[in-house]
Structure formats: C-alpha cells, structure tokens
Amino acid sequence: MHQDLEEILFSAEEIAAGVKRLGAALAAEYRGSDPLFIGVLKGAVVFLSDLIRAVEIPLHYDFIAVSSYGKATKSSGQVQFLKDVGQSIEGRDVVLVEDIVDTGLTLKYLLENLRTRGPRTLKVCTLLDKPERRQVEIKPDYNGFVVPDRFLVGYGLDFADRYRNLPYIGVLKPEIYRVSSNHGKIRTKY
C-alpha cells in the first residue's frame, strides 16, 4: 500500500469484479445500438479504459473535459467545457462515464448540456457514488460502488493530480491533504 494512504477501500481485484459486472449490464442494455461512451477527463480515463473492454459489444468512445476550479466556484455552477466531444451525438445512445459522483454539479451541467444536442438516450455510468455529498438530485443509472465521505485516491482519482495510477482505491491520510496545497488552494473534495 502507498505510504500516504491509511487504508485500501477497493483492491484491484474488487474493482475488476465491479467493472466486469457493470460491463455485462451495459452490454445487455446496448446490444445492437452502437452506443457512444463519453469519458469525463481526467479521472474517468482509467475506469473507461477497463470498462470498454468489459462491454463485449461494438461501441465507440470519446472524451470531454470540464473546468475544475475547486469547490467554491463549482458550487456557483461555473463549470465550463475545456474539451468537447469530436462528433455529433444526435440520435445516439450515449453513456456518460465518470469515476465519481460527489456533489453532482459536474454531472448536472454535463447532462443539461448534452441533452440539448438530441441524443436518443443519455445515461450515466460511474464507478463510485458518494451520495452523502450530493448538492443536486442526481442518481447515476449504473454505479459500481457506493462510497463513504472520505478522501479517496487511486484508479484515476487524484489529490493535486497525484495517485491517479494506483491500481487500487484508497483513503488518503488527512495529514497529506491538510498540509498540501493545490496551486495555493486546499482541496477538500474527496
């Protein structure tokens, strides 16, 4: 285990089992529809990479990126596109893929925006759901694990852009995020 963690919440094996379960469910729903999976950069990259290989039907994938100014700004609804998908989603079956749904503000913004583009269907698949932190009423259609309100890193999740490549998901020691700063801002997100 990485020395900055106090415990591992989900091992690589547990994550793989969750991804396999989600992949099978998604394959059953989208068989024959050539769905478009859209990963939200950067956190969802690791999950999306494994997920698409667990969905054993033809599919396409793409990415979007939204601004992340930290909690205060996000709460005011100021989420903006940094990178959009490179194709029309009109008439498509779209699956938005997230690593974690926390306050739900990112997802609310993305769903509202994508809906205006006329997808045939639009659903959300997240690896982790942290409902205790929710500020808007949003429930993912597919969820790997419900997680407690603790600072989680690994498997795409970061603190100050670190720990994303850990193969498991763990709880960061409080002394790490209390003394560290991210461009001058203390992040207390996860």
d(CA 159, CA 187): 8
**Residues within the interface to ligand PRP (CB under 6 A):** 40-44, 68, 74, 98-107, 158
Cβ at position 133, least distance to ligand PRP in Å: 7
Nearer to ligand PRP, 94 or 101 (CB): 101
Query: 50, 99, 102, 129: which is the annotated catalytic residue?
Result: 102
**129 catalytic residue (yes or no):** no
Cβ at position 28, least distance to ligand PRP in Å: 26
Cβ at position 189, least distance to ligand PRP in Å: 6
Q: What is the 3-state secondary structure (H, E, C) of the chain?
A: CCCCEEEEEECHHHHHHHHHHHHHHHHHHHCCCCCEEEEEECCCHHHHHHHHHHCCCCCEEEEEEECCCCHHHHHCCCCCEEECCCCCCCCCEEEEEEEEECCCHHHHHHHHHHHCCCCCEEEEEEEEECHHHCCCCCCCCEEEEECCCCCEEECCECECCECCCCCCEEEECHHHHHHCCECCECCCCC
> Which residue in the shown chain puts its C-beta closest to ligand PRP?
43
Nearer to ligand PRP, 93 or 99 (CB): 99
Cβ at position 51, least distance to ligand PRP in Å: 14
Nearer to ligand PRP, 33 or 103 (CB): 103
Nearer to ligand PRP, 89 or 105 (CB): 105
- As annotated, the active-site residues are 102
